[in-house]
Amino acid sequence: MRIPLDRQSAIPLYQQIKTYLRQGILSGSLAADTRLPASRQLAQDLGVNRITVENAYAELEAEGLIFSRLGSGTYVLPPDPLLPLPKNDPGTPWPLWQQSIVDKTLRSGLLDERRKSSRHPQPISFASGIADANLFPAEDFRKVLQTVMRRDGIAALGYGERNGYAPLRASITHILASQGLQTRPENILITSGSQQALSLVSQLLLKPGDIILVESPTHSGALDLFRALGFKVIGIPVDGQGMQVDALEKLLQQHHPKLIYTIPNFHNPTGTCLNGPRRRHLLVLADRYNVPILEDDFVGDLRYEGRTQPALKALDPGGRVIHVSTFSKMLMPGLRVGFLVAEGPVYDCLVNFKRVNDLATSTLVQRALEAYVTVGRYQAHLRRSCQIFRRRRDAMLSAIRCHLPAGVRFDPPQGGLFIWLQLPEKLDSEKLLPLAREEGVDFAPGNGFFPDGTGGRNWLRLNFVAQAPDQIDEGIKKLGKAVKRLLASHK
């Protein structure tokens, strides 16, 4: 035990020991039943006389904070509720450097505070960015984990290869090929979720103050990241066919961005897909202006109808596009396993940058995922998910038509997770939110998805895969009530 002692102090050493232990016990950091070191051991650790420690222990025992069991040791007692608790902050002011820290992610922090203030105990939530947790194959995965731990033992708990567990990279190659993107295991880097992939790529390619182009609106988690890293974020407008690539060239000339971040498939939050000609045009422009493309394909395969579009990466003549995806949305968010596909010098830099950032992603989880996610199983899971999610989307579309006023507008999405809903012009989704929460339903207000923080006032995002159909109907009914209340307040 490393207790801080001040040998220059006028306070006797035994009392310093006593005060230190006393404070720990009263604050609860030294929990009841914790065994304290034997007095001889602690004396040796601290370089003091054994009597010094024994005196400290004796006083603590007299205060009823610890007790000695003969031949067994000295243990912490549960603190008496009548004893005064030590204060957390003894009045010392924070150092200046702490006082001047600016939290660049504060905006989202406030958002979360506001979210917590929901009055309804169990709202039906359409706010999240992930699928229904109850669809995750937890029991199957438990068995796989067991098999892997039995099979690999110690090896499952080592650091592993720096670009990720090789058999998992091979599996990902096969899954990507079965979805229409051909690559090689040596071009794949396993990351801690797709969020880490976005973080590594953008940090490698930009420095604070550099400009990144994103769709406007776009994924709020990416916006939070880019802002926290100090980048200037410029929006490219989006319509029903995805990013307005016609508007891109002017932005490229004007801003000289270091990166274009795009979600071409089932865009977050709008649910649109970039059409084929725009995909090719985007690649041509990126090449002409020498700007890398970061393609976030978070749910590219969750298509319920209509014609597929190739991933931008599948159109890449070589080294133009960095493709990021994840198993989190469809399988298990808490596993935190995503990946990126890249080639050329940037791939090696990303591998090294990942290593200096956190060494590796848990090898145990990578091994378990590899054992679980065969191509066949992935395809089966995808088919099943598409069936379930299509029904949920249809349930939400019906519910919206049934329960929301006619002034509400939306494009029915052909896949993905989200419906992007436009309220009548005068309604503000930020103002709708507290009313909706009172009714017992939750959504993501549109404003948080805009890079300049000004757009989307009368928009909101609904996740249609997170709830079963009856809950969807119930939730949209509640949303309808909230909208009517807000409309009434405007009259």
* Residues 345-384 contacting a second copy, CB under 8 A: 345-346, 348-349, 352-353, 355-365, 375-376, 379
CB of 300 to a second copy, least distance (A): 7
Name the residue nearer to a second copy (CB basis): 22 or 403: 22
- Residues 6 or more apart whose Cβ sits within 8 Å of residue 12: none
Encoded amino acid at 46, one letter: L
CB of 58 to a second copy, least distance (A): 20
Q: Candidates 219, 267, 278, 320: give the one binding a second copy (CB under 8 A).
A: 320
* Buried-exposed string 152-172: b where 16+ CB fall within 10 A, e elsewhere: beeebeeebeebbbbebbebb
* Buried-exposed string 66-76: b where 16+ CB fall within 10 A, e elsewhere: beeeeeeebeb
Q: Candidates 18, 219, 303, 478: give the one binding a second copy (CB under 8 A).
A: 303
Stretch that binds a second copy, among 57-65, 103-111, 455-463, 472-480 (CB under 8 A): 103-111
Residues 21-40: x where in contact with a second copy by CB under 8 A, - otherwise, as a string: --xx--x-xxx--xx-----
Stretch that binds a second copy, among 135-143, 422-430, 443-451, 460-468 (CB under 8 A): 135-143
Stretch that binds a second copy, among 180-188, 211-219, 396-404, 463-471 (CB under 8 A): 180-188
CB of 291 to a second copy, least distance (A): 7
CB of 460 to a second copy, least distance (A): 22
Stretch that binds a second copy, among 284-292, 396-404, 411-419, 476-484 (CB under 8 A): 284-292
d(CA 230, CA 104) in angstroms, rounded, equals: 8
Stretch that binds a second copy, among 238-246, 328-336, 446-454, 470-478 (CB under 8 A): 328-336
The interface with a second copy within residues 221-260 (CB under 8 A) comprises 221, 224-225, 228, 230
Residue showing tokens 């058999």? 167
**Are 159 and 359 spatial neighbours (Cβ–Cβ below 8 Å)?**
yes
CB of 303 to a second copy, least distance (A): 7
Q: Which of 89, 87, 91 is nearest to 23 (CA)?
A: 87
d(CA 446, CA 393) in angstroms, rounded, equals: 19
The interface with a second copy within residues 49-78 (CB under 8 A) comprises none
Q: Candidates 64, 78, 167, 276: give the one binding a second copy (CB under 8 A).
A: 276
d(CA 107, CA 224) in angstroms, rounded, equals: 8
Q: Candidates 61, 68, 111, 141: give the one binding a second copy (CB under 8 A).
A: 141
| Interaction of residue 446 with a second copy, rule CB under 8 A | no
| Interaction of residue 208 with a second copy, rule CB under 8 A | yes
d(CA 190, CA 351) in angstroms, rounded, equals: 9
**Burial bucket for residue 484 (CB in 10 Å: 0-12, 13-18, 19+):** middle
In the Cβ-directed half-sphere of 450, how many Cα atoms lie within 13 Å? 14
Q: Candidates 71, 81, 84, 90: give the one binding a second copy (CB under 8 A).
A: 90
| Interaction of residue 406 with a second copy, rule CB under 8 A | no
Q: Strand, coil or helix: what is 243?
A: strand
Kindly determine how many residues on this chain lie close enough to bind a second copy according to the rule CB under 8 A.
129
Q: Determine how β-strand 321-326 pairs with β-strand 124-125.
A: unpaired
Q: Which of 303, 345, 295, 344 is nearest to 321 (CA)?
A: 295
CB of 59 to a second copy, least distance (A): 18
